[in-house]
Amino acid sequence: MVSAIPALYAQGVIAQHRSMPHNRFAHRYRGINRALIRPLIRQRAKLDAFFMKRFRTNSLSTWFLRALRHQHHQRFGPEGNYYEFGIGKGRSMSRFLRALKVFCDAEDLDLYSYSLFLFDSFEGMPSKSSPRDEHPGFSKGVLSFSLEQTRTRMSKQLDLSRGNVHFIKGFFDESLTPELANGLAAHPPSLVTVDVDYYTSTKSVLEWILPFTPTGCLFYFDDIWLFYGHPEMGQVAAINEINQSGIGYLIPYPELGTTVGGRSFVFSRREFELQKARW
Ligand SMILES: C[S@@+](CC[C@H](N)C(=O)[O-])C[C@H]1O[C@@H](n2cnc3c(N)ncnc32)[C@H](O)[C@@H]1O
């Protein structure tokens, strides 16, 4: 059942869902007493509603699906390595996996050849260390989910023993080391989610990852509107500072659409270079 869905919806996700399968089904049986086929129509309508909810136009799953397809159809640019900072209990992760499954199914690719690098303290938020972090909704230790909790959640969608998922536990000021960056340089990020709320955490992530990030890498920042877009607060401040640092540019990329809270950006190195990194 699941493998039939991409064929029905993959294009529709990008445009809009127009004719739904259950309507077409009803049309085929026009001559038949509708009472007889009503249960079947209802069953299909439920299925449609299920997928429309998960892949509605401004959902995060839809954003991921668009991003994956976009990169796959580019002649140049990175592909195949997903990094997420602030995995928490794994809600955004679960949306990525949903999209990855549909994408791999539609493109006939092996899901387990896509690498995932997932970062979190798994002890919740750190202390605020800058006035630019000062949001009243957060304090040290909130949003704490253990690695075990997150693994259990993810293992409902993915076989974690296959070796393509890597958890990196720790506060970023300790876990994001130059040695780790060297070790991961063979897996340059192609798609990055940053859902860490604070300016300081976002800045640590960007300073660490951008030196080995190729031009064309797509970023999803979940907390752009946490401080109502204030240019000196939160994620927006971190992005602005990075754009003045000389390493390259994080450029808003609205072509991929929006989600309710987050925004997409594409990274372009200052010394422009473009290679096809195959996965
Ligand atoms: C809003 S939650 C993430 C929610 C998650 N993406 C989800 O959808 O379930 C923010 C996460 O960022 C993590 N975090 C924030 N700053 C961090 C830092 N400096 N080091 C490590 N983890 C950090 C927190 O532990 C928390 O789990």
pLDDT of residue 6: 47
Give the amino acid at 63. W
How far is residue 82's CA from residue 187's CA, in Å, rounded to a whole number?
9
Lowest-confidence segment of 116-125, 128-137, 146-155, 251-260 by average pLDDT:
251-260
Shortest-distance atom of ligand 1 to CA 124: 25
Contact criterion met (CB below 8 Å) for 216 and 250: no
* E-state strands within the chain: 81-85, 115-120, 165-169, 191-194, 218-221, 248-252, 263-269
Mean pLDDT of 138-159: 94
pLDDT of residue 22: 43
How far is residue 96's CA from residue 277's CA, in Å, rounded to a whole number?
20
Mean pLDDT of 109-132: 96
Mean pLDDT of 112-140: 95
pLDDT of residue 39: 79
Tell the CATH topology of 56-269. Answer: Rossmann fold (3.40.50)
Report whether pLDDT(185) > 60: yes
pTM of the model: 0.83
Report whether pLDDT(106) > 70: yes
Lowest-confidence segment of 164-173, 196-205, 256-265 by average pLDDT:
256-265
Q: CA triplet 82, 181, 119: central angle to 5 degrees?
A: 45
pLDDT of residue 1: 38
Give SS3 for 221: strand
pLDDT of residue 36: 79
How far is residue 66's CA from residue 201's CA, in Å, rounded to a whole number?
27
Report whether pLDDT(26) > 80: no
pLDDT band at 28; cut points 50, 70, 90: low
Report whether pLDDT(17) > 50: no
Give SS3 for 103: helix
pLDDT of residue 53: 67
Residues with CB under 6 A from ligand 1: 86-92, 120-121, 124-126, 143, 171-172, 195-198, 201
Which residue ranges does the chain devote to CATH 3.40.50.150? Answer: 56-269
Which percentage of the chain shows pLDDT scores above 70?
A: 84
pLDDT band at 48; cut points 50, 70, 90: low
Shortest-distance atom of ligand 1 to CA 93: 8
Ligand 1 centroid to residue 118 C-alpha, Å: 11
- Ligand 1, residues 82, 125, 129, 169: which to mutate, most atoms within 8 A of Cβ? 125
Shortest-distance atom of ligand 1 to CA 223: 1
pLDDT of residue 256: 86
Contact criterion met (CB below 8 Å) for 119 and 84: yes
Which percentage of the chain shows pLDDT scores above 90?
A: 68
Report whether pLDDT(152) > 60: yes
How far is residue 73's CA from residue 94's CA, in Å, rounded to a whole number?
24
Mean pLDDT of 169-189: 96
pLDDT of residue 127: 94
pLDDT band at 2; cut points 50, 70, 90: very low
pLDDT of residue 38: 80
Pair of tokens at residue 53: 């909810």
Report whether pLDDT(242) > 90: yes
pLDDT of residue 44: 73
For 214, which DSSP code? P
